[in-house]
Structure 1
C-alpha cells in the first residue's frame, strides 16, 4: 500500500543543515514527508519581503498538489502563503505557525512565543496572533536576542549555528528565557522558529510547561486531516496558473540577487537582514 504524502514547504538549506526536515520519529506509519522548495530563498524583514514569500509559497504548494501530494504544511512559523493556498488548493494546507499556536492554546489558558530572532521581527508574530484570534491568549513574545545582535545571530558561528551544534551556553540562554516566561504565567511555550526544532527536547526537559515545536505540530496536524479524510471546503475560484506565478516570482527574484542573498547557517537566506537599504 502506498504511503500518504505530506509536502514540507521549505527552501532547501545549505549543505549539512537539514533542521527543516521532519524527524523520522515524528512521521506516522503510512505517511511520508518530502521537501518541496519554493523558487526563491526566504526573506522576511519587511512587508514587501513577506508578500514575495506569499507568492513563492503559493507556487510551491500548488506545485505539490499537482505532483499528487495528499496534504501540505508550510514549514515556517510565518505561515507564508497560507490564506492564498487555502483559497486555491483542494488538499489540506497547514501553517506550522498556526498549528503550533493552536496546540499551545489547547494546553493552557495563556501561552508564550519564544524566538531566537530579535525584536525587529515582532510585527510578524503580532500579525499572526491577530489573524488567528489569539492575541488575548498569548501573554508574551520573548526575543532571546537584541536587534544589535542580528548579524551575529546568522553568522557562520552565530547563535543559530551554535544552537544546531548543541552548544550548552546557547541552549542554557534560551532555556533561561523560557523559565522566566513560566514564572510570569506562561502555561505553554511555542518555539518561534523552525530553526529551534533541534533543541526542542532539550528545552522541554528544562522548563515545567509543554514546549511546542512548529515542525512537529504542522506535520502531525496535516497527517491528522488526511487520516480523517478532511478536505477544505472553499468557494469556486479560477485555478491558479503555475506558469504565470513562476514568471512573477522569477521577475522579482532579481531583488534577492541585488541584495546579495546567500544561504546562511540557519538554512534560510537571511542575509537580507544585514544588507543596507535606502
Structure 2
C-alpha cells in the first residue's frame, strides 16, 4: 500500500484537515506528516512565497530516498510543487490547484474562501492556472460576502488553508477541502501508476540538495 508524505506548514493549524484526509484514505495507506517551518510568516508577499518554495523543496527533496510513493504539499499556496516535481519521479500534488480543479468536476464554477494568510496567494493561483472564468470570486473568511458565497456566488466552494475550520458546511453546495482531496488524488495516481510529465517538469542538470537545505536553514 502507498506511503504518502504530507508537508504541513507550521504556521497553519491543519489538524482537522489531516484527520479528514486519514479518514478518507484507503485502508493500508500510510500518511506521514512533516511540519515545515516557513522563514517568513504569514507568507503574503512575493519574497515570502519564494522563501516558502525553498522551505517546501528542502523538506520534500529526499522523499523518494525515504521510500515514499507520493508527496502532498498541504499548503493551499502550492509552495515548492513545481520544483519538487523536477526533483522527484513520484507524484507531487499541491492542495491549492488540485482543490480548485476538483471543484470543477462537481460544478461549473467555484468560489474560494480563504483566511487573510492565503487570499492573495489564492488569487495568484487562479490567475496562473487560467481559472478566472470558472472562479466566481475570492472572499476572505469573516466578510459578509463569504457567508453568501455558498448559495449566491458559485456552484461549489473551495476552502483554502484554515478556512475549513471557520466555515460551516452547506447541504446544497459542494465544499472542496484541499488536503483530503490532494491526498486522495495522490493515492489515485499511485494506484494508476501515473506521475507528472517529464516534458513539463524536466530534471535539473545538477542537483543542489545541500545548497537548498543550507539556504532554507539560514
TM-score for the superposition, normalised by structure 1: 0.69
Could you tell me how far apart the structure 2 residues matched to 1:60 and 1:51 are?
A: 14
SS of 2:78's equivalent in the other structure is coil
Which residue pairs with 2:25 in the alignment? Answer: 27
Which residue pairs with 2:142 in the alignment? Answer: 145
**Mean CA deviation greater in 129-138 or 34-43:** 34-43
Kept in 2: contact 1:39–1:60 (CA 8 A) = no
Q: 1:78 to 1:136 in 2, by over 3 A?
A: same
Q: Aligned pair count? A: 213
2:182 is equivalent to residue 211 of structure 1: no
Kept in 1: contact 2:39–2:48 (CA 8 A) = no
Could you tell me how far apart the structure 1 residues matched to 2:4 and 2:33 are?
A: 9
Choose the corresponding residue for 1:238, options 197, 205, 209.
205
| 1:28 to partner: Cα distance | 1.1
| 1:37 to partner: Cα distance | 2.9
TM-score for the superposition, normalised by structure 2: 0.86
Could you tell me how far apart the structure 1 residues matched to 2:82 and 2:18 are?
A: 23
Larger Rg: 1
Kept in 2: contact 1:11–1:41 (CA 8 A) = no
| 1:17 to partner: Cα distance | 7.5
| 1:30 to partner: Cα distance | 2.8
Q: 1:144 to 1:18 in 2, by over 3 A?
A: closer
Per-residue CA shift, 1:222-253, capped at 9, x if unaligned? 001001010223134235322111111122xx
Which residue pairs with 1:268 in the alignment? Answer: none
| 1:211 to partner: Cα distance | 0.5
SS of 2:16's equivalent in the other structure is coil
SS of 1:73's equivalent in the other structure is strand
SS of 2:27's equivalent in the other structure is coil
Give 5+ residue unaligned stretches, structure 1: 147-172, 252-278
Kept in 1: contact 2:137–2:153 (CA 8 A) = no
Which residue pairs with 2:78 in the alignment? Answer: 79
| 1:22 to partner: Cα distance | 4.0
| 1:183 to partner: Cα distance | 3.7
Could you tell me how far apart the structure 2 residues matched to 1:48 and 1:36 are?
A: 23
Which residue pairs with 2:214 in the alignment? Answer: 247
2:159 is equivalent to residue 191 of structure 1: yes
Per-residue CA shift, 1:49-73, capped at 9, x if unaligned? 1100001101112122221110001
Which residue pairs with 1:9 in the alignment? Answer: 7
Could you tell me how far apart the structure 2 residues matched to 1:117 and 1:83 are?
A: 24
Could you tell me how far apart the structure 1 residues matched to 2:51 and 2:203 are?
A: 25
Q: Alpha carbon RMSD of aligned pairs, Å?
A: 2.5
Return the structure number with greater strand share.
2
Q: 1:45 to 1:185 in 2, by over 3 A?
A: closer
SS of 2:6's equivalent in the other structure is strand
**Mean CA deviation greater in 90-99 or 17-26:** 17-26
